[in-house]
Structure 1
Amino acid sequence: MVKTDRTGPAADRTAAGPTAAAAFDELDLRLIHALQVDGRAPFSRIAEVLGVSDQTVARRYGRHRGSGALRVLGLSEPRALGAVEWLVRVQCAPDAALPVAQALARRPDTSWVSLMSGGTEISAICRTAGSEDGDALLLQKLPRTPSVVGVTAHCLLHEFYGGPQNVISKSGALAAEQIAALSPPPAQVRATPWVLSDADRRLFDVLARDGRAPLAELATATGWSPTTVRRRLEALRADGVLYYDVDYDLRQCGFGVVVALWLSVAPAELAAAGEALAAHPEVAFAGAITGPHNLFASLLCRDTGELYRYLTTRVAALPGVRTMESAPRIRHIKGAGPFLAAAPTALAARSRR
């Protein structure tokens, strides 16, 4: 699976380099960074921190959201729910890869579905209620077709970078004091997993499409009062069950290459290598996984030349690396949010995987 800076509307992606999409300007990047810090922060608060008017912030967000270049997602944190995530790689015949990928994307328990390399491999993240449920999803519920020639699954053991952070978090678009002014209180770690009610699930269904959905809309979906919705949002966020992510067009940030990176690292060096990798500005997601490759990352580079320099310098210098495999993403099907089959053409900004 390739997690970038966040899920984006479905669209073809190539590794050829940046497209002609108009670039985000400095204020756009600061707005995106602010929303990454707090996706539901009032525009008045964001405007005060950025030193612009409320109307400017609202217009910028409205214009980019309307074009499909930017949106806020409200997402559930799998570990807080006791869920397990699996990185799945599906090898297909070329003519079957897209239909299989789209079938996977339509499932509510998948995210970050992409076509990789020459279009014969699909990568995806699959979520299960627990490790004992993995076989049911991975071996029985994947699309059954003679054109699927191989499936491998790797359990995500530890996340070094991702979740509520992405590449924009490393950009320096906001100063430290601006980030502090927007940051909500840190989430607490619960000893036991949250159990979502049916109303909670309806709440997350709306937030996954629009993390800034008005309280009235959320109240209608859940059957709660707006006051109850507000309190529930605060409680879910305080316990680390709910976080906000930003989906934005990577091309408008100058990124033309999205790459999945698998590394085999000596066990004694895995933690050090993962932490070092997570600090690299090119890394949108990094996590320890099961299997012969025990460290996975999603990379964002401006072009193939920058990717080559990165792989042969900083990746090569990571401690304990034994082998490396990389694959460019050629088509983005689904990100962290729901599958949007007819969405405007735009590239996701968060590779969470």
Structure 2
Amino acid sequence: MMDAIDRALIHALQLDGRAPYSRIGEVLGVSTQTVARRFNRLRAEAGLRVVGLPDPQAAGRSLWLVRLTAAPQVAQDLAAALSRRSDTSWIKLASGGTEIEAIVTSTPTDGSALLLNDIPRTTGITSVSAHYLLHMYVGGPTAWRGRAKSLTPAQAAVFRATATDRGPVKPLGASDGKLLAALAEDGRATHAELAGRTGWAPATVARRMEELQQSGAVYFDVDVDPVALGFTTSAMLWLSVPPAHLDAVGRALAEHDELGFVAATTGRTNLVTQALCASPDALHTYLTQRIGAIEHITAIETVPILRTVKAAAPFAPGALGLRL
């Protein structure tokens, strides 16, 4: 179980993923060594990782939320295989282990290979639906509010103040590929470590990192096991909302601490969220009292999540399976 310092550390990293241990320690009133020790323990025990990811719009990427169904054993192998791909993230086993839900990234140059070529040729899949993500209210650069409640406003302001103001988005080019790959594995890698991965001089790395962060072309996300934070029950909620009210409902849901993801999509259901609650009873209360109180939601499908196979990081350590 996490204590107040652990939770404050995660909150600080959510605000500034590259904040030095010394600054975090100063704000929390503990030593730099304590912060480093807590970070390493959470990394080992709760999967804590900071990852640097490109803003999809700046990178010219499209995001799809794909739902696949298959027999339970086939679904587990498929989820493991999908986790190995560089164009997937947030892979979840759901619905008793017969459904996979995953974010798939496509670019104009890859021709949406996974969606158009690889998935249709894979045996054992009984159904596929792909939902284009039109707008994210929570997710990506907009982090989950539920784990950002440990710092005082004054403490949080210190980390927000260290973030540089965003300017025009700097185009991401082919030359940034190695840098982005390194940041996706470790968003807290030093400039010297990034220089070793890219072949650039440390000064060049520092300059390019400043450009990408100032423009918002790269953001930093925090991976951590929700169960370690006390959220033991999770479900995807697929909602139907009349188009005239879609944005208002999306913005209202974005204020809910229980939701780690909220996005408008294409398809029969046009709004999808991920709920994270302390127990099944807490999920029931959330659905009946908070979701139920929002007007204009005409239908809801609740899909329980059994396990997250892959989060925002590019690979799921220990995930084994077939190549897809």
TM-score class normalised by the smaller sequence: over 0.9
* Partner SS state of residue 118, structure 1: helix
**Partner of 2:265 in structure 1?**
289
After the TM superposition, which of the residue ranges 275-284 and 225-234 deviates more from structure 2? 225-234
Task: Write the letter of the residue equivalent to 1:117.
Answer: S
* Residue 91 in structure 1 maps to residue 69 in structure 2: yes
Superposition map of 1:1-353 within 5 A: 23-130=1-108, 133-134=111-112, 136-142=113-119, 144-167=121-144, 171-183=148-160, 184-190=163-169, 194-198=171-175, 200-342=176-318
Change (3 A) 1:248 1:127: same
Give 1:6's aligned residue.
none
Residue identity matched to 2:309? I
Deviations 1:77-97 (A, max 9, x none): 112212110010011122311
Which is worse superposed, 92-101 or 290-299?
Answer: 92-101
Contact 1:261 1:326 in 2 (8 A): yes
TM-score, length-scaled by structure 2: 0.92
Cα distance in 2 between the residues matched to 1:245 and 1:257: 22
Q: Residue 261 of structure 1 contacts residue 325 of structure 1 at CA under 8 Å; is this kept in 2?
A: yes
Contact 2:145 2:257 in 1 (8 A): no
The one-letter code sitting in structure 1 at the alignment partner of 2:223 is D
Find the residue that maps to 2:97 and give its secondary structure: coil
In structure 2, distance between residues paired with 1:37 and 1:168: 11
Say which SS state the counterpart of residue 306 (structure 2) adopts. strand
For 2:235, the aligned partner's letter is: V
Instruction: Describe the SS at the equivalent of 1:89.
Output: strand
Secondary structure in 1 matching 2:100: strand
Change (3 A) 1:326 1:254: same
Q: 1:320 to 1:74 in 2, by over 3 A?
A: same
Structure-1-length-normalised TM-score? 0.85
Q: Are the equivalent residues in 2 in contact too, given 1:262–1:325 (CA < 8 A)?
A: yes
Q: Match of 2:96, SS?
A: coil
The alpha-carbon deviation at position 143 of structure 1 amounts to: 6.5
Please, which moves more after superposition, 44-53 or 159-168? 159-168
Cα 1:165/1:28, change in 2 over 3 Å: farther
Q: Which whole-Å CA distance do the structure 2 matches of 1:132 and 1:224 have between them?
A: 27
Contact residue 83 and residue 316 of structure 2 kept, 8 A: no
AA at the equivalent of 1:106: R
Superposed CA RMSD? 1.9
Count of aligned positions: 317
CA contact (8 A) 2:7 2:147 kept: no
Task: Give the gaps of 5 or more residues in structure 2.
Answer: 320-324
| CA–CA separation in structure 2 for the residues paired with 1:297 and 1:188 | 30
Label 1:98 to 1:209 Cα distance change in 2 as closer, same or farther (>3 A). same
CA distance in 2, matches of 1:317, 1:68: 34
TM-aligned CA deviation for residue 194 of structure 1: 2.0
1:141 Cα shift? 2.0
Which fold has the larger relative contact order, with Cα–Cα distance below 8 Å and residues 6 or more apart in sequence?
A: 1
User: Do the aligned residues in 2 keep the contact of 1:272 with 1:319 (CA within 8 Å)?
Assistant: no
Secondary structure, counterpart of 1:326 in structure 2: strand
Fraction of identical pairs, as percent: 47
Cα pair 2:231 2:276 within 8 Å, conserved = yes
Unaligned runs of 5+ in 1: 1-22, 344-353
CA positional deviation for 1:133: 3.6
